[in-house]
Amino acid sequence: MAKTKPGKKDLDSYTIKGTNKLVKPGDCVLMRPSDSDKPPYVARVEKLEADHRNNVKVRVRWYYRPEESIGGRRQFHGAKELFLSDHFDVQSAHTIEGKCIVHSFKNYTKLENVGAEDYFCRFEYKASTGGFTPDRVAVYCKCEMPYNPDDLMVQCEGCKDWFHPSCMGMTIEEAKKLEHFLCSDCSSDDDAKRSLNSFPVSPSVEIKVRRTQSGFAHVLLL
């Protein structure tokens, strides 16, 4: 246990000014940036502390947005993606303007609706080097890209890999109407016995949309 300085007191919770929302250590919060044109900063609360005048300070661990990372935003980064950084800070609790939820990648892909307060994190980020943990993730499709949960993917019934409609020469609308899908490699291996046209057409068969993360090939991110 770290020693508490005299006159300082650890708090179990803090109520966000002007609201009845309670923030506790371990919660994720939105913090007001000094430049009001920017989106709020996202952080995980590590510790809440009040001094003898009852000024509340919050020790936070920052989440970085892809555009704030050294490598910048890449094609496979989701709109709501955050990286848990190794960058800690102490801020006045007054800068907390709201709460949010940072989901695991798997839970995020299972959300029925993504609300404004929903984010996800699949990488830890070292702010000094720009390095990511894990440094490798599964890749999919002919383009060999990690999965971006914002993009629709279709699963090949032959090789079970997942593909972007655009990489297969289809529009998203065309892909959504598909009853069955074989990628170009699998359909060229295919013989007449497994002609796609012979499948019964059933409106109840839904196209499979990528939901879970399972490993195929791996790629080095940096």
Count of beta carbons in the 10 Å neighbourhood of residue 90: 11
164 binds Zn ion (CB under 5 A): yes
Segment interacting with Zn ion (CB under 5 A) among 30-38, 39-47, 124-132, 138-146: 138-146
156 binds Zn ion (CB under 5 A): yes
Minimum CB separation of residue 152 from Zn ion in Å reads 11
Nearer to Zn ion, 50 or 159 (CB): 159
Token pair, residue 200, equals 């019964």
Q: Quick one: which of 111, 127, 152, 186 contacts Zn ion (CB under 5 A)? A: 186
178 binds Zn ion (CB under 5 A): no
CA–CA separation, 160 vs 216, rounded Å? Answer: 10
Q: What is the dihedral of CA 207, 211, 213, 217, to 10 degrees?
A: 20
Minimum CB separation of residue 185 from Zn ion in Å reads 5
Selection from 61, 70, 43 nearest residue 221 by Cα:
70
172 binds Zn ion (CB under 5 A): no
159 binds Zn ion (CB under 5 A): yes
Name the residue type at position 34: S
Determine if residue 141 is left, alpha or beta; phi over 0 gives left, psi from -120 to 50 gives alpha, anything else beta: left
Q: Do residues 17 and 31 make contact, with C-beta atoms less than 8 angstroms apart? A: no
138 binds Zn ion (CB under 5 A): no
Q: Do residues 178 and 155 make contact, with C-beta atoms less than 8 angstroms apart? A: no
Nearer to Zn ion, 122 or 164 (CB): 164
Selection from 76, 70, 142, 85 nearest residue 105 by Cα:
76
Minimum CB separation of residue 188 from Zn ion in Å reads 10
* Total residues at interface with Zn ion (CB under 5 A): 9
Segment interacting with Zn ion (CB under 5 A) among 73-81, 118-126, 167-175, 213-221: 167-175
Provide the binding-site residues for Zn ion, judged by CB under 5 A.
Answer: 141, 143, 156, 158-159, 164, 167, 183, 186
